[in-house]
Amino acid sequence: MSASSVDHLYDLDRRFPSESEQRSLLHLWVPSERVTVHRINKPTAPQRKWPALIPWMLEERTLEPVEETHFVLGGRAGGDLVDVFAVSRHDMQEWHRIAENAGVVAMRMVPDYFALPWEEGRITIGWREGRCLVRHSATQGFAASPEVAWAMVERLIAAQDVAPRVSISVPDPELIPQSLRIQAEINDAEVDWQMTSMPSSVNLMSGIFQARPPQPEKHIFVVNTLLTILAIGLLFVYLELSNANLAQHSTALENHLKVSFSRVFPSQSTDVEDLRFNVQQKIARLERQYESVESMPLRGLLALTELMANCGCDLR
139 lies in the same domain as 43:
no
Asked whether residue 106 falls in the same domain as residue 126, the answer is no
Domain membership flag for residue 31: yes
Residue 57 lies in a domain: yes
123 shares its domain with 176: yes
Sheet of 24-30, strands arranged across:
5-8, 24-30, 104-111
275 & 261 share domain:
no
- 107 in the same domain as 77: yes
Going residue by residue through the chain (316 aa), what tens digit of pLDDT does each one get?
345 689 999 998 877 655 555 678 899 999 999 999 999 998 889 988 988 899 989 988 888 899 999 999 987 777 789 999 999 999 999 999 999 998 899 999 999 999 999 899 999 999 999 999 999 999 999 999 999 999 999 999 999 989 899 999 999 999 999 999 988 999 999 999 999 999 888 999 998 999 876 655 566 777 888 899 999 999 988 888 888 888 888 888 877 777 776 676 565 555 666 667 777 888 888 888 777 777 777 677 767 666 666 665 554 5
Counted residue by residue, the chain has a size of 316
In a domain, 200, yes or no: no
Asked if residue 201 is part of any domain, the answer here is no
The Cα–Cα gap between 111 and 201 comes to: 12
**Residue 122, beta-bridge partner list:** 165
Do 251 and 286 fall within a single domain?
Answer: no
Residues 85, 89, 91, 97, Cα dihedral to 10°: 130
Residue 73 belongs to domain with CATH number: 3.30.420.380
Same domain, 229 and 253: yes
Report yes or no on 196 lying in a domain.
no
Co-location of 167 and 137 in the same domain: yes
Task: Give the strands of the sheet with 35-41, arranged side by side.
Answer: 35-41, 81-88, 69-78
Helix (H) or strand (E) holding 290: helix 272-293
| Rounded Cα–Cα distance for residues 170 and 124 (Å) | 11
Domain membership flag for residue 28: yes
> 21: which DSSP letter?
S
Q: How many domains does the chain have?
A: 4
Q: Are residues 6 and 62 in the same domain?
A: yes
CATH number at residue 175: 3.30.420.370
pTM for this model (two decimals): 0.65
Q: Give the three-class secondary structure for 162.
A: coil
**262 and 179 within one domain:** no
Domain co-membership, 84 together with 127? no
Residue 260 belongs to what domain range?
A: 215-266
Q: Any alpha helices (H) in the chain, and if so which ranges?
A: 50-57, 89-101, 146-158, 178-183, 217-264, 272-293, 296-311
The rounded distance, in Å, linking the Cα atoms of 193 and 5 is 10
Q: Is residue 283 located within the same domain as residue 252?
A: no
| Angle, vertex CA 80, rays to CA 75 and CA 83, nearest 5 | 30
> Does 162 fall in a domain?
yes
Is residue 128 situated within a structural domain? yes
